[in-house]
Every structure is written in C-alpha cells, then in structure tokens.
Amino acid sequence: MDEYVDITVRVRYAETDQMGIVYHANYLVWFEIGRTELIRQRGFAYKDLEEHEGCFIVVTRASCAFHQVARYDDVLTIRTRVKRLQSRTVDFSYEVLSEDGRRLATGETSHVVTDRSGRPRRFPDRYLQALSTLAEGGK
Amino acid sequence: MDEYVDITVRVRYAETDQMGIVYHANYLVWFEIGRTELIRQRGFAYKDLEEHEGCFIVVTRASCAFHQVARYDDVLTIRTRVKRLQSRTVDFSYEVLSEDGRRLATGETSHVVTDRSGRPRRFPDRYLQALSTLAEGGK
Amino acid sequence: MDEYVDITVRVRYAETDQMGIVYHANYLVWFEIGRTELIRQRGFAYKDLEEHEGCFIVVTRASCAFHQVARYDDVLTIRTRVKRLQSRTVDFSYEVLSEDGRRLATGETSHVVTDRSGRPRRFPDRYLQALSTLAEGGK
Amino acid sequence: MDEYVDITVRVRYAETDQMGIVYHANYLVWFEIGRTELIRQRGFAYKDLEEHEGCFIVVTRASCAFHQVARYDDVLTIRTRVKRLQSRTVDFSYEVLSEDGRRLATGETSHVVTDRSGRPRRFPDRYLQALSTLAEGGK
C-alpha cells in the first residue's frame, strides 16, 4: 500500500505571491503532475485515457495541509500514492518534499471516472489493473 | 453564525481546461476573493492588514468538494463565512453557487496569523473585533 | 475607429508575485476578459460563437508594454478596441488603466478564426457585422 | 550572438483551456523559466540577484507569436537567447520547440534592472559580465 512515484518540480516565479512564498493553489496543480506521472510509470498516459478511451478522471474532492512554505526556485519532490481504488473512483495522496527531505505539504484528491459527457463509468480494465498494482505494491 | 458575504466572479477562459470545465485549482483562488471581500465588508482591507500592521493571514489548510461543474462565462457567487475565529487563527467556509442557485462546490480554509517573518502572532484587536461580529452575526 | 469597451477587474492575490506586483502574464488574461466583454456589448457571447457556430477565435500574436506596476487589490479598467477586422482575422488593442486614470499597460492581440478542428474559416456574417460596427464606431 | 540555453517543460493539464490547447498566457511563464535557466547556466541564480544584490529584472515588454498549437503532456523545449544587453536593460528572445523540432512559438521580452523600491539601477558587474558572454558567444 505504500508504493509511490516521485517527480520533481522547480518553483516558478509565476507561482509565488507577494508574501514571497508559493501561492497555495499551485499545490493542487503539482498534485495533478504527480498523479499524471504515477499513471505514466504504470505504462500508460492519462492523455491516451482521454483520447482513446473517452474516459476522464474528474476531481471530486481536493485537500491540502501546508506545513512549511516553499519558495521561488526551490526544487520540490511530489510523492504520489494511490490511496484507494475502485472500479469507478480513485483517491490519490500526496506529499510535497523539500530537497533536504522536509515535508512541506500533504494532500489528497478524490476522483470519479466519467465519459465525455460527464456520466460516471468504469475504468477500462487494463487501466484498472495497472493502477491496482500500485495500490497494493510495497516499494 | 450564519452571516455570509457574497461576491460574484465570471469564469475566465484561462480558468477552463481541456475537459471544457473550470480547472479545479481555481476554486481556491475564488475562495481567496471571497474572504478578501468578507474582510472588506467589515470595514477594512486585507491589503492594509499586510501593509500597515505587518500582519499576514497565511493558509494552513484548504479543501474543496466539487459537486457540479462550472463552465466558461458562468457568473458564480462565492459565499463566504467566518467559521471559527481565535486570536491567532481563523477558518473560513465557502459555497460556490450557480446563477440559478445550485451549489457547485463547498470548501474550507484554515489560516494562521503571522508577522512579516512568518512567526505566529495575534490579530490586531480591531481586526479581531470586526471579524468576531461576523462569526457571531445572524444574517 | 476609437470606440472602446471598458470592464473592471480587481487584482487577485494569486495574480501577484514575490516582487509585490502583478505577475506580467496576467495582463494577457485580462485582455481576454476585455475582448470577451467587447463582444458581449455587441449583443452576442463568445461562448455561443464556440458552442453554436463551432467557431473559435484563436490567438496568433500577443504583446504588452508595461508602463507602471499594478498591485494587489487595485481596481483596474481594461479598455478594449477592435483595431482591425477582416473576414477571417481580427486584431484587438488594449489599455490597462488605474483608478486615477494612469495608463499602466498597453497591448495588442491578433487572432484567426477557425473551426473546431483548427482550420481557418470566416466569421459568421452576423458576428462580422456586429464587430464591424465597433471597428468603425466613434464613441 | 546565437548562443542559447535550452530547458524542457511538460505541458500541465492546468495550462490547457477548453479549446483543447495550451492557453496562450502560459508561454510567458515558460519564457520566464527559459531566462531563469539561461542565467543559471552562466553560474548564478536569479534568486540570488534578488536576495543578495537587491536587484530585480522587471519585465517592460513581452510579445509572442503562436505558430502551431501545443497540447497537454507535450514535452516542449524553451530555447532562450540574450538578444541585447546594456548596463541597465536586457532583452531576451525565445523559441518554443516541439519534440520533433517544429517551432511552435517565438517571443521576446524586454527588462529593466531595478532596486527593491523599483528605481532603475545598473546590473552588478559580475552579472553583467556573465550575461555578456552569452550575448556574444557562438554555440
């Protein structure tokens, strides 16, 4: 259950605000980068899920706790885990880590799988299997 | 406890994503607009709190549940309440409403008051009083 | 040729950066708000152009000169003009004005009209006429 | 004069809009990433210029021509050059290239050097020298 995927981002000037720190909404953008990368590491691309399967992973809940600030030009690690997986929904959890390993933020997102018109549907089987592996692995 | 402040935003093209709906992180930006307006309605500006009092309201937690989608050019109401207020912390709650009154999203943010260098401090008294009124009013 | 449409925006915290001023890319977002409003004032919505006519106004060039800084919570006027209109292209020009009338920024965008698949096409006639009026009016 | 620095970015979902392509204002954000990287390759960090020298490189003009669209998950190269360098101003030029080498966009930004309070000043000498090398190199 603890298998995770890491990806790094470098904080952009555009992501700071006048407090001199990262504007908090950007963490949700990084979470999206994290889960995109997790899916990629399992051998497929979220892009293809949309394009070829007409299948969308829509955000239904998002939360983030901000423990320590991140600043311009910091290199951060986004660590993503599949927290819970069902045939029509998936939850991810995230940690944002500084270069020296401090945990700057933690968060979760919940998602429902839909078709192009926004109606709930099941994950295509091979995607479900690929994600399952992650949800049960033990890195 | 149910006193709220409303402000409307019109969805910008920049706020949409390729699903054809509003990208979820933008709701946190709208929440910020909501609490800025709530503070303004109490007779002061958050800007002055920073500039004149050297006092910052930093986000420590944020969460949002997305019930229905919002789309480009929609006019949305951001309804903001003070949920809990203490001398050093404040929580706000939010509803995002469509023009016909549907509740598209709900959320909460928690904040700590800091000085310029990021150290926790108390709200200046008059700000605390102004916000208190809100937290106990009954619109 | 000098007819314009004004709309105001209030600077969001999210739009500032650690210099304590508005991050420059946001002016392009405001320009989009300006031209959306100009189109609306002519009696139709850009949203409908996309939805009902399958017609998209794609940006091909954008430029902005930044004369004076804008800051958090400032109320700015975005003044938009149709600069040049042809059956398949349109150019807009913009001024960003402070509350006391100073010209903070000026810019231009060029656009090509396309169908859903990105192929160039003509403006639908009634949209062309509505925009023409603007391009030749004299407010 | 043709020395350049490359850095890659992967298009984020947040950067797309409902046309299914990258929202145009994001190119200016990528340009900023490009010039930050160019400065880094010359042996110093823009962050330090601000923090240690109290010296800010403020954008005074920005322009971009969009030749072909970029899409979600595309890996793009931002190619940055110093176009013109003087003791108090600097211009950069940019190309955005697709993975197969197509030129998706080109742009330029102009900057003035200021102190903390926004007054024009000279580049610190060693920064000026480092950037000069670039402006005259021949990769």
pLDDT of residue B46: 95
pLDDT per residue as tens digits for the range D41-84: 999 999 999 999 999 999 999 999 999 999 999 999 999 999 99
Closest Cα of chain A to B63: distance in Å? 4
pLDDT for A104 beyond 70: yes
- What pLDDT digit, counting tens, does each position of C65-97 carry? 999 999 999 999 999 999 999 999 999 999 999
Residue D138 has pLDDT above 50, yes or no: no
Q: Which DSSP helix (H) or strand (E) runs through A62?
A: strand A56-66
Better pLDDT: A29 or D137: A29
Tokens 């959320």 -> residue: B107
**Is D17 a residue of the active site?**
yes
Q: How many CA atoms lie within 13 A of D105 on its CB side?
A: 28
Chain A's closest residue to B29, CA to CA, is: A25
Query: Does D25 lie at the interface with C, CB-CB under 8 angstroms?
Result: yes
Interface test with D, best of A22, A28, A36 (most D CBs within 10 A): A36
- Tokens standing for residue D101: 């080498």
What 8-state DSSP symbol labels residue C124?
P
d(C-alpha C18, C-alpha C5), whole Å: 32
Task: Give the pair of three-digit tokens for residue D31.
Answer: 């340009």
Q: Which of C14, C36, C47 sits opposite B29 (nearest CB)?
A: C14
Taking the Cβ of residue B32 and every Cβ of chain C, the question of whether any pair is shorter than 8 Å is answered with: yes
Question: With bands split at pLDDT 50, 70 and 90, how would you rate the model's confidence at B2?
Answer: low
Domain parsing of chain B, residue ranges: 5-136
Chain D residue with the nearest C-alpha to that of C67 = D60
Read off the pLDDT of each residue in D12-23 and give the average, rounded to a whole number.
Answer: 97
Torsion of Cα atoms, A118 then A122 then A124 then A125, to 10°:
170
What is the predicted pLDDT for the residue at D41? 94
> Which one of D12, D18, D21, D24 makes the best mutation probe of the B interface by having the most chain B beta carbons within 10 Å?
D18
Lowest mean pLDDT among A15-29, A77-91, D1-15: D1-15
Is a pLDDT exceeding 60 seen at residue A136?
no
Query: In the structure, what pLDDT confidence band is assigned to residue B133 with cuts at 50, 70 and 90?
Result: confident
Residue A25 with chain B: CB contacts under 8 Å: 25-26, 28-29, 32, 62
> Does residue A137 surpass a pLDDT of 50?
no
The helix/strand/coil state of D18 is coil
Residues in contact with C87: Cβ distance below 8 Å, sequence separation at least 6, in sequence order: C122, C123, C128
Q: What percent of chain B has pLDDT over 90?
A: 90
Strand order in the sheet with D89-97: C5-10, C75-85, C89-97, C103-114, C56-66, D56-66, D103-114, D89-97, D75-85, D5-10
Identify the band that residue C133 occupies on the pLDDT scale cut at 50, 70 and 90: confident
Find the closest chain D residue to A9 by CA distance: D9
User: With 50 as the cut, is the pLDDT of residue B118 above it?
Assistant: yes
The reply to whether A33 touches chain D by the CB within 8 Å rule is yes
pLDDT > 70? residue D134: no
Q: Average pLDDT of B93-115?
A: 98
* pLDDT for C2: 65
Tens digit of each residue's pLDDT (9 = 90 or more) over A42-87: 999 999 999 999 999 999 999 999 999 999 999 999 999 999 999 9
Q: Which residues of B touch C45 (CB under 8 A)?
A: 73
Nearest Cβ partner for B33 among C12, C29, C32: C12
Task: Report, as an integer, the average pLDDT of D101-120.
Answer: 96
Superfamily of domain A5-136: Hotdog Thioesterase (3.10.129.10)
Q: Given an 8 Å threshold on Cβ–Cβ distance, is B14 in contact with D17? A: yes
Q: Tell which B residues from 72 to 101 touch A, by Cβ distance under 8 Å.
A: none
Active site residues per annotation of A:
17
D106 dihedral zone (left: phi>0; alpha: psi -120 to 50; beta): beta
Residue C56 to residue D19, Cβ atoms within 8 A: yes
Cβ pair D33:A46 closer than 8 A: no
Average pLDDT over residues A101-114: 98
Mean pLDDT, chain C, whole residue set: 94
**What order do you get walking across the sheet with A89-97 strand by strand?**
A5-10, A75-85, A89-97, A103-114, A56-66, B55-66, B103-115, B89-97, B75-85, B5-10
